[in-house]
Amino acid sequence: MLFILLRQSFTNQMKAMFLMFLSVAMGTAVSASLVAISLDVQGKVSRELRSFGANITIEPKVEGLAGLAGQRRFLSEEDIPKAKTIFWRHNIIGLTPFLELEALLEVAHSGATSKRKVMGAWFDHSIMLPGESEPFDAGVSSVMPWWEVSGSAPGEGEALVGVSLAQELGIKSGDTVRLMGRDLRVSGTLSTGGAEDGLLVLNLNELQSLSGNEGALTRVMVSALTTPMDEFAYKDPDTMSKVEYEKWYCTGYVTSIAKQLEEVFGGSRVKPIWRVAETEGRVLERLTVLVYLLTLAALVAAALGMSTTLAASVLRRLDEIALMKAVGADRMGISIIFLAETFIIGLAGGLVGYLISLAAAHYIGVEVFGSALDQKGILLPASILSALGISSLAAWLPIRRALMVKPAVVLKEVH
Amino acid sequence: MNPLIAEAAIIGCKEGLKLALVWYVCRSFFDAYGRPGLMRFFYFGVAVASGLFVLSFFMPHDMAARDTVARLTGYVFFLFFMAAVALMYNRPGKALSGVSGLEPLAVLFATALYFSPDIVGASLFVRELAVLSGQVAGIYFSGAFAFVFLIAFFVLLLAKRPLKGVRRFLGLAELFVFLALLKFLGSGTKGFGEISLVSSVQQGLVKFVHDAAHQSLLFLMVPDHPLLVTTTWNFIGFFFSGPFTAFLALLILAGPMLGYLYVTLTGDIPIPEGMDSGAERRMYRAEKRAFRRRRSVMAGAFALLVFISWYSVGGGRAGATLELPEPRPIVPEAGVVSMDLSGPGFDLMDGRLYKFSVNLEGETVVLLVIRRPDGKLAVTIDACEICPPDEGYGRSAEYVVCVYCMTPIPIETLGMPGGCNPIPLEAEITDSSVLVLMEEIAAKWRFVTSSKSKEGIR
Amino acid sequence: MTAFIEIKDVLKEYGTATALRGVSFAVERGQWCAVVGASGSGKSTMLNIIGGLDSPSSGCVSMDGVDLCALGEDPMARFRRENVGYVFQQSHLVPYLTSVENVMLAQYFHSLTDEDEAREALARVGMDHRLGHRPSQLSGGEQQRVCIARALINSPKVLLADEPTGNLDRENTTLILGLLKRLHTEEHFTIIMVTHDAYVAGWAGRVVTMEDGLIVKDEPSDR
């Protein structure tokens, strides 16, 4: 009988049923794709952020009066391979050294001179690591993939000019600049969107020998594969229990890796670049909260849409409900009819919503992140359950309305 | 607050809740069937089980002990499950029938059996907490017990009167289903380990089959190795592993419940003589049907729970954040572990993560095999030198990830020693299989168990 | 001993209007009682209160020893479906269900559906040729016969009819009344029937006349 009633109810009010189905399906689709994205986004965003490059910088430690006096301290190039001997060596996926100096720069064709920052960096430079057969790429592109060089990388006797410096001094590719008594041919321009746009960039080893700072470095940028910072990562290691300390130590937080790098680079100060490291953890957390709020909003909207449609349907069917009550239906009997309807709609809506979310998440993944999202299998039962949840929630008020029907009154009014 | 105290409190809460729930349902049950006196024997049983917590002081606090207790829990679950199934299929649902002299004993025994592994396990856990923190165990025990009593007190407050309508939902069989269900749930996140009971039985079985065949062929003085090559054994092994195991567990646990549901829900309802009017007959049938439905609720819940756990442990995992393959058990041949490069449903060279398990002097060692981006096969133990080895590694979209500390490991570095990387194994890769010496596994496994590197941490 | 159906000092108010002003009335088992009166005299309200579709503002109603006013909503629904059969004036049938389905609806809310039994019930009221028809395809008399089949399907103790022939011509009226008569004489149904038609009331064994919410006359019928 319930089957007959449901069949009739669906065929007699196709429009209402379709509307309810639509709102549940859309709500589920939106929320399921949001959740799919947020589940996948953690990895994706941290990967995106990592392509912004380094998350750890190593700089010389400058302390007290020495710093005030402007005394320069350097890192040693010899320490670089040591970075790949620490506990976390496998997680260091890129590193590149820099030397930065100030020097008098003379442009050959105009004769203009000015004091400028000059930087030495490795382009296409590999180093051999102890005990490894494959060379390790320590060039600038391994950490700063966004450095855009037009022309060619500076070789022996060559230099790159940052785009803003080139504009300011009127230097073009092929021009000659004079630095520390040596003529350098401009092999191209460098565009990074950062401070490097105002610099003259040489090959690191050439700058070292020109300035007489053999083997000296002012900075090493490291790109490390890390575990996103969570609450545990911010705990003070000194207050940890043994189990916790073990776990903290063996977890690849950026702080743990930085601590170990500091131990191998003599006289260094190693800092996580929080812009990246923190974004990975904390900002993602906020993003997740936002996504869940949006998900909730989508589900609530779907529930409201369904609730109003169902309420209208109940109002249309008041006579019928009154009649059923007169024939002997109790509250349960009436509720079951409407609950079964919403159950079917919820089930179908959840299923279709999930399918739509598959497509949507795939599209968003491709559009925003350039790669398809990993669909989580758990989303199928989750979206069906939430669809069932919101549809029964939506049915609550209309069913209450239906239960309030007084058969004696309603049946009297019908003519 | 000391986090370890919090853990003691949590386990206290959990055990307290379980105890209180079982107490409440049993009390209502005995009441409903007019045998409130049996509750006394329930209390005796709980007392016996509680006394067993002293046992934990004589047990070593290591993984083996914990494993033993977990296994015992599994066996007890299985016993209750089997009892439930036996009662279900032995209708007509008489409750508390049988020899009445034995009933008190049965209640006592069942209660003691039901609670003892939990109590021993919990006290083992609490004692471990004490050892970890280097403090007196008493602190933790009192913490845990305080919460057991707190929960019990609250339940007593809430549950002054016995549950109504117990008879409508519970017969003796359904009571047992409820107890088995609670046990299934109560074993926590690792709890679906009861399913792994199947897998350990299977491991035993596969070894037994192997040994039996091997011995009998040896007895007949037939050189069996040319006949039964490792590949054959591994192929047979497939039926004892991975998805097959999960499916079998599903069948064993959910099958009887589903069968019961089918029989009760579709069974005929005979109409007694003397019912003339159709309305009367219909009413009789409707009431009988409703009764049968109510009595099937427990079995349905149990089947549903098994399906959910199966989905979340096995089926659903394929799409979960981390790919965590089930290890395939392997029997070493003449001290060599041989893993086929490809076989039914797998190909080691497809870039996915593969796990194999071998038995090393009673311990299960899991091996991990994955193809690196450079095309070489990395063969390692599924553990690093630092993290606890129970969880091993999983595969995310781009990295291999340590399940314990969630540290991502670049796949191209797999097979290199050190760091959080899994411990590499020397392996010979032939055209058809990967060969690893058991000696090599034993030598490297020592790194895991000795935790040498852990000493160096502080 | 109390009568089979007994109402005592029943008062019913709708807002400011009063439909019943303290009515007392009893019906014995197996009686066929007609309640007559002008429209607005409170006769339908009384029928609804007896059948548990409505509750009195004060006073009490009992049927077969059960105090209806003490029952909550759900027990009342249960009591109604097991003990009371209703026939309405407008032959209230669910428009999208066939005759047999309409009868089965009453079975469904009572216990289980049994299609064969529903067909038999329709055959008993002479509707076996119209089983698969919707109410809109049936004449007024046919609809009313489906209603009677539906009212009887759960073997009620009492049949309540509110203007069962109100919309029918004389021929169909006679047919329906004949049906009721048969039920009364052969199966000893207790019937309470509300009507404003003296001809219809004449079929009953007892006629109660109401006026302005009070019973003014209660006498055996001349038939």
**Quick one: DSSP state of residue C213?**
T
Residues from chain B that touch A2, judged by Cβ atoms under 8 A, are none
Residue B229 carries which side chain, given as an amino acid letter? V
For residues B132 and B146, what is the distance between their CA atoms, to the nearest angstrom? Answer: 21
**Angle in degrees, 0-180, between the axes of helices B103-133 and B172-186, rounded to the nearest 10:** 10
Residues of C with CB under 8 A from a CB of A: 44-45, 48, 53-54, 73-74, 77-78, 80-82, 86, 88, 90, 92-94, 96-97, 101, 104-110, 113, 150, 154
Element (H, E) at A101: strand A92-107
Is residue C145 within 8 A of residue C191, CB to CB? The reply is no
* C111/B contact by beta carbon, under 8 A: yes
Q: Which of A319, A312, A320 is nearest to A337 (CA)?
A: A320
Q: Which fold has domain B328-455?
A: Rieske Iron-sulfur Protein (2.102.10)
Per-residue pLDDT, averaged over C62-84, amounts to: 90
Element (H, E) at B169: helix B166-169
Residues from chain A that touch B457, judged by Cβ atoms under 8 A, are 245-246, 249-250
For residues C135 and A289, what is the distance between their CA atoms, to the nearest angstrom? Answer: 56
Classified as helix, coil or strand, A374 is: coil
Q: pLDDT higher for C11 or A273?
A: C11
Say yes or no for a CB contact (<8 Å) between C90 and A327: no
Per-residue pLDDT, averaged over C142-151, amounts to: 92
Please report all neighbours of B, defined by 3+ CB atom pairs within 8 A.
A, C
Q: Which of B320, B384, B406 sits opposite A377 (nearest CB)?
A: B320
What backbone torsions phi and psi does residue A93 show, to the nearest 5 degrees?
-100, -10
Taking only Cα atoms into account, the Rg of chain C, rounded to an integer number of angstroms, comes to: 17
Chain B residue whose CA is closest to C113? B282
For residues B356 and B354, what is the distance between their CA atoms, to the nearest angstrom? Answer: 7
Query: How close, in Å, is residue C198 to chain A by CA atoms?
Result: 22
pLDDT of residue B215: 66
Residue B97 carries which side chain, given as an amino acid letter? S
Classified as helix, coil or strand, B367 is: strand
For B44, residues 6+ apart whose C-beta sits below 8 A from its C-beta are B108, B111, B112
For C112, residues 6+ apart whose C-beta sits below 8 A from its C-beta are B282, B285, B286, B289
Structure token digits, residue C101: 């389905």
Place of tokens 């000296």: A216
Return the sign of the alpha-carbon dihedral for residues B337, B342, B343, B348. positive
Task: Name the H helices within A282-330.
Answer: 284-316, 318-327
Classified as helix, coil or strand, C40 is: coil
Q: How many helices (H) and strands (E) does chain B have?
A: 14, 12
Q: Tell me: the pLDDT tens digits for A143-176?
A: 887 788 888 888 888 888 888 888 888 888 888 8
0.85 surpassed by complex ipTM: yes
pLDDT of residue C76: 92
Query: How close, in Å, is residue C53 to chain A by CA atoms?
Result: 6
Taking only Cα atoms into account, the Rg of chain A, rounded to an integer number of angstroms, comes to: 33
Q: Which of B166, B176, B182 is nearest to B88 (CA)?
A: B176
pLDDT of residue B209: 66
- Do the bridges between strand B328-329 and strand B354-360 make them parallel or antiparallel, or are there none, so unpaired? parallel
Burial B296-310 (b: 16+ CB within 10 A, else e): bbbbbebbebbeebb
pLDDT of residue B318: 39
Superfamily of domain C5-95+156-220: P-loop containing nucleotide triphosphate hydrolases (3.40.50.300)
Residues from chain C that touch A333, judged by Cβ atoms under 8 A, are 77, 108-109
> Which phi-psi region, left, alpha or beta, contains residue A314 (left: φ > 0; alpha: ψ -120 to 50)?
alpha
Say yes or no for a CB contact (<8 Å) between A8 and C90: no
To the nearest whole percent, how much of chain C has pLDDT over 90? Answer: 42
Say yes or no for a CB contact (<8 Å) between C110 and B289: no
Say yes or no for a CB contact (<8 Å) between A250 and B317: no
Q: Tell me: the pLDDT tens digits for A100-116?
A: 888 888 887 777 788 88
The angle subtended at Cα B263 by Cα B262 and Cα B264, nearest 5°, is 95
Classify burial at C1, counting beta carbons within 10 Å of its beta carbon; exposed 0-12, middle 13-18, buried 19 or more.
exposed
Q: Confidence band (pLDDT; 50, 70, 90) for C36?
A: very high
- How far is CA C114 from each of CA A236, B186, B283, C109, rounded to the nearest angstrom? 73, 45, 11, 12
Domain boundaries of chain B, sorted by first residue? 3-187, 196-319, 328-455
Residues from chain A that touch C110, judged by Cβ atoms under 8 A, are 328
Residues from chain C that touch B282, judged by Cβ atoms under 8 A, are 107, 110-112, 114, 117
Say yes or no for a CB contact (<8 Å) between A47 and B3: no
* C211/B contact by beta carbon, under 8 A: no
* C155/B contact by beta carbon, under 8 A: yes
Scan residues 45-84 of C and list those with Cβ closer than 8 Å to B: 82
Scan residues 410-449 of B and list those with Cβ closer than 8 Å to A: 410, 413, 416, 418-421
**Quick one: DSSP state of residue B166?**
H
pLDDT of residue B323: 72
Per-residue pLDDT, averaged over C111-134, amounts to: 91
Per-residue pLDDT, averaged over C44-51, amounts to: 90
- How far is CA B73 from each of CA A38, B67, B113, rounded to the nearest angstrom? 38, 10, 10
Length of chain A: 415
Average pLDDT per 10 consecutive residues for chain A, totaling 415 residues:
89 91 93 81 58 74 61 79 81 86 82 85 82 78 81 85 86 85 87 82 88 86 78 72 72 81 83 62 72 90 93 91 90 93 94 91 78 70 90 92 86 61
Tens digit of pLDDT per residue, chain B (458 long)? 466 677 777 778 888 888 888 999 998 998 888 888 889 999 999 999 888 877 777 776 665 676 677 767 777 888 888 888 888 887 654 555 555 667 888 889 999 988 888 888 787 777 777 766 666 767 777 777 778 888 888 887 877 777 888 888 888 888 999 998 888 776 543 444 444 445 455 555 655 666 666 666 666 665 555 445 455 555 555 555 555 666 777 787 888 899 999 988 888 888 888 877 888 899 999 999 999 999 899 999 988 888 777 666 554 443 345 677 777 778 888 888 888 887 666 778 877 888 888 888 777 788 889 888 888 888 998 887 777 666 788 887 677 888 777 777 888 888 887 777 888 888 888 888 888 888 888 888 877 776 544 444 33
Return the sign of the alpha-carbon dihedral for residues A346, A352, A353, A354. positive
Length of chain B: 458
Residues from chain C that touch B287, judged by Cβ atoms under 8 A, are 111
pLDDT of residue C119: 94
Q: Which of C160, C194, C182 is nearest to C53 (CA)?
A: C160
Classify burial at B62, counting beta carbons within 10 Å of its beta carbon; exposed 0-12, middle 13-18, buried 19 or more.
exposed
For residues B271 and B282, what is the distance between their CA atoms, to the nearest angstrom? Answer: 9
Q: Which of C82, C88, C96 sits opposite A411 (nearest CB)?
A: C88
Say yes or no for a CB contact (<8 Å) between B282 and C155: no
Domain boundaries of chain A, sorted by first residue? 2-47+281-413, 56-272
pLDDT of residue C156: 92
Query: How close, in Å, is residue A205 to chain B by CA atoms?
Result: 30
Other Cβ atoms less than 10 A from the Cβ of C178: the count is: 11
What backbone torsions phi and psi does residue A223 show, to the nearest 5 degrees?
-110, 115
Return the sign of the alpha-carbon dihedral for residues B53, B57, B62, B65. negative
CA dihedral B383, B387, B389, B391 (to 10 degrees): -90
pLDDT of residue A350: 94
